[in-house]
Structure 1
């Protein structure tokens, strides 16, 4: 058995792990980055980037079909599934290659290949013949797909998003279970590429929506082009020949149907990769799912005895916010604190921001209205401003006049709190709103900003005007201005 002693050991070389390594190395070079699987990050290999490649191909096909609405005759659209997937693989491999190239720049002595598990809070066994003792350890092992037992009845017809990006061509049909971010993005893309499709949910949720009015609007909009049932009544799933047979109650007619699909795509959520770590040896306080309790500002795990723990956790492994930019931020905080352990510093967490690249797009900024009501003490403290893209000038010109905006602000101060958006290209407005929330901007100050004509952002101005009209200003604004300084309402 070989023994090695380091200052920081990082388990996992994905986005969070690489970010942790970058931060920890500012405190010294006695660091090891341990990876037990494929390199290349989930985002580059089977996540953000290949999904956006599939979406880009689907959007190109849809734009060609939609051109007839402008009086442009393009003929029928023919999708070559093999060519689409070949292009996707080629571009995906470029993204993965860039990540692997960056990993190669990490000194060889700081990279270890093998599966790590805890022997004690500061000792890891890597593989069968190496023991690593570290002053601090960062868990950045990412996550994996999981699904309810019922879906396993599909046998080898059950696939996850990882499998989709290994396809050599497109199937004729697919059933998607889970109308969350992944399910909606991949489902709509497959539909636009000519795959016969149905999307089934269970809880009634749709994407990241918390606002019931927006969720219902989006539900109706998506169902105009492909089938989505967020609260499906599925009676049976079985493997049948080379397909999977699904018996369900059809949402619109109420009829009991059995349909057969080439694949069942499970997009029902992800679970942290923690089982192989032997966390019981790390002496951590775990929740009912076996995930360590941690401080979201330091990313330090809670020790089982209530004392300080030398273990930190970042990215999808902690199951807080499974988004790449959050994994990168958390990795920096965890790596910095691991590098300076036992000293620690609270990292600055940014405004929550989530974008779904469907058409129309979905975006959420900040906390939900319900979360703000709970934080502020009730609905009387929060106002909602609304606007529609229906009839909005630029949206009409683009023939994309579907969608709504909901903005939230605090009575008394006019402070912008967050937003939920559903509409064309709202990814850009979501960034502007996230920056505004981050800067503690007030609604009246945002209305002083320039708005060009004709642009989609004019719908944002309409929502801000509606919000301003509903806000009840009061003496509290003076105290809030003094607290946050410039950048909010002046008066």
Structure 2
């Protein structure tokens, strides 16, 4: 007879979202079982956010040496030891691993099962012979790199974000298929670390971001020597004497690009295979598991969160989802997910961060809008640190309701936080303009952009007449 475990909540997937539910629920008094078939910490810790940011940090450090002459610093970059860079990346992962480990979660009272979960009924799963019956299930299985159906790809060596961080030598020429956030981050990181890099994108790079701000990123990448091939179709790939050859179609004409290594960064595919979701009466498609506003699946006793639930695919979104599920599953509150103030960041240099509606979406939803801009070149701190390639762009209604904000520039990911708070708390642009920002900081760009909302009326002829009239009285 197989063992039967009866529990309050069973979480399937030990990535950021699943771990947040398991830790929170257990510490709040629920009996929790966590199932993970691979590495604890999921994609974010092992193959995504953590290693990519560690690699970017190494690349930025190398680039800082190259750019030091602008500050009067005479220094030469003598070389890069990619094995040491590799060790740095793995060391960062190792430093975080204990926080996501089986031992830590067992210490929190969570029972951890290693293996693949398969639903045998709407209320039960089986994990390597062990049956788990739960009052509520939470599916948090995440996503993986999508492998496109390119001719010759199955016969050609290639990397994804799950394998690229195992390289211990700098690629001579890295060809990246895909110009989204993952492709652009890894392209620039490897370029900073000395590789020749070519990016192949069928549309334009970073297509989900504001084109005006993407232009600033594009110019930086090109100035650093990244070869951007936009608006091209990848026809085929094959192994060659140099490593790999990629045939592309550009406006009906074919050309071949050769390189030493190939990275596939063409998007993500949700992990729904092998769980027998039909047995659980859980609806799903290629985009993910179908959920309602409370993140319940078509089986109301089963929730889905993070990447596998479709929509935005960010670690912080999965963490937010975890809070929604805990409110519903533990406290029986009809909490609903609200992504109107969900920020996202691409951590290239300069960084590009956004929250809320962009210009196109705002016009479609509200018709008349106000667009506020402030360039980093008008910021004293940016000038002092020579990071003037940047722009903040804020979208409001004519009456000052903040609809969205986007920032491209140094530390944009940190700067977007205040706009996320503003949208979350439904602040008006006047609240942002009245904020006292310390001088000199990059944060002043937010105050300046907000203040520009009032410039037309504040310095109008009507205001001048009023001031002159009032001054007549002493």
Q: TM-score, normalised by structure 2?
A: 0.88
Give the match for residue 142 of structure 1. 142
The alpha carbon displacement at 1:370 in A equals 3.2
Does the CA contact (< 8 Å) of 2:432 and 2:446 recur in 1?
no
In the aligned structure 1, how far is the partner of 2:77 from the partner of 2:39?
Answer: 41
> Are 1:292 and 2:286 an aligned pair?
no
Output one character per residue of 1:269-303: Cα deviation in whole Å (capped at 9) or x when no partner: 1111111111111213334x26322123x211134
Give the match for residue 463 of structure 2. none
The alpha carbon displacement at 1:391 in A equals 5.0
Aligned with 1:345 (options 304, 313, 334) = 334
Give the match for residue 239 of structure 2. 239
Aligned with 2:391 (options 384, 393, 404) = 404
Going from structure 1 to structure 2, the CA distance change for 1:151 and 1:338 (only over 3 Å counts) comes to: farther
Output one character per residue of 1:300-342: Cα deviation in whole Å (capped at 9) or x when no partner: 1134xxxxx21100112112222112111212322442345xx
Give the match for residue 317 of structure 1. 308
Does the CA contact (< 8 Å) of 1:363 and 1:420 recur in 2?
yes
> Are 1:440 and 2:426 an aligned pair?
yes
> Are 1:455 and 2:455 an aligned pair?
no
Does the CA contact (< 8 Å) of 1:300 and 1:313 recur in 2?
yes
Give the match for residue 359 of structure 1. 349
Going from structure 1 to structure 2, the CA distance change for 1:151 and 1:219 (only over 3 Å counts) comes to: farther
Give the match for residue 324 of structure 2. 333
- Between Structure 1 and Structure 2, how many residues are aligned? 454
The alpha carbon displacement at 1:457 in A equals 2.8
> Are 1:394 and 2:395 an aligned pair?
no
Structure 2 unaligned spans of 5+:
459-474
Give the match for residue 301 of structure 1. 297
CA RMSD of superposed structures (Å): 2.5
Does the CA contact (< 8 Å) of 2:120 and 2:279 recur in 1?
yes
> Are 1:177 and 2:167 an aligned pair?
no
Going from structure 1 to structure 2, the CA distance change for 1:291 and 1:235 (only over 3 Å counts) comes to: closer
The alpha carbon displacement at 1:117 in A equals 1.3
Going from structure 1 to structure 2, the CA distance change for 1:33 and 1:250 (only over 3 Å counts) comes to: same
Does the CA contact (< 8 Å) of 2:327 and 2:335 recur in 1?
no
1:302 aligned counterpart, secondary structure: coil
1:294 aligned counterpart, secondary structure: coil
The alpha carbon displacement at 1:26 in A equals 5.6
Does the CA contact (< 8 Å) of 2:179 and 2:201 recur in 1?
yes
Output one character per residue of 1:236-269: Cα deviation in whole Å (capped at 9) or x when no partner: 3211146111233689xx9964332221111111
Q: Within 5 Å, give how 1:8-157 maps onto structure 2.
A: 8-25=9-26, 28-100=29-101, 101-107=103-109, 110-127=111-128, 129-150=129-150, 153=153, 155-157=155-157
In the aligned structure 1, how far is the partner of 2:221 from the partner of 2:457?
Answer: 32
Give the match for residue 216 of structure 1. 215
The alpha carbon displacement at 1:74 in A equals 0.6
Aligned with 1:416 (options 393, 396, 402) = 402
Going from structure 1 to structure 2, the CA distance change for 1:282 and 1:455 (only over 3 Å counts) comes to: same
Output one character per residue of 1:118-158: Cα deviation in whole Å (capped at 9) or x when no partner: 1221121222x222222221101111111211175263521
Output one character per residue of 1:65-105: Cα deviation in whole Å (capped at 9) or x when no partner: 10112222112441111221122222222222332152342
The alpha carbon displacement at 1:419 in A equals 0.7
In the aligned structure 1, how far is the partner of 2:287 from the partner of 2:74?
Answer: 58
Give the match for residue 306 of structure 1. none
The alpha carbon displacement at 1:207 in A equals 5.8
In the aligned structure 2, how far is the partner of 1:151 from the partner of 1:470?
Answer: 57
Output one character per residue of 1:215-234: Cα deviation in whole Å (capped at 9) or x when no partner: 33432332222222332243
Structure 1 unaligned spans of 5+:
304-308, 473-491
2:291 aligned counterpart, secondary structure: coil
In the aligned structure 1, how far is the partner of 2:104 from the partner of 2:207?
Answer: 33
Give the match for residue 481 of structure 1. none
Does the CA contact (< 8 Å) of 1:177 and 1:200 recur in 2?
yes
Going from structure 1 to structure 2, the CA distance change for 1:349 and 1:11 (only over 3 Å counts) comes to: same
Output one character per residue of 1:415-466: Cα deviation in whole Å (capped at 9) or x when no partner: 2121111112212220111122222221122111113333323333332233
2:288 aligned counterpart, secondary structure: coil
Give the match for residue 467 of structure 2. none
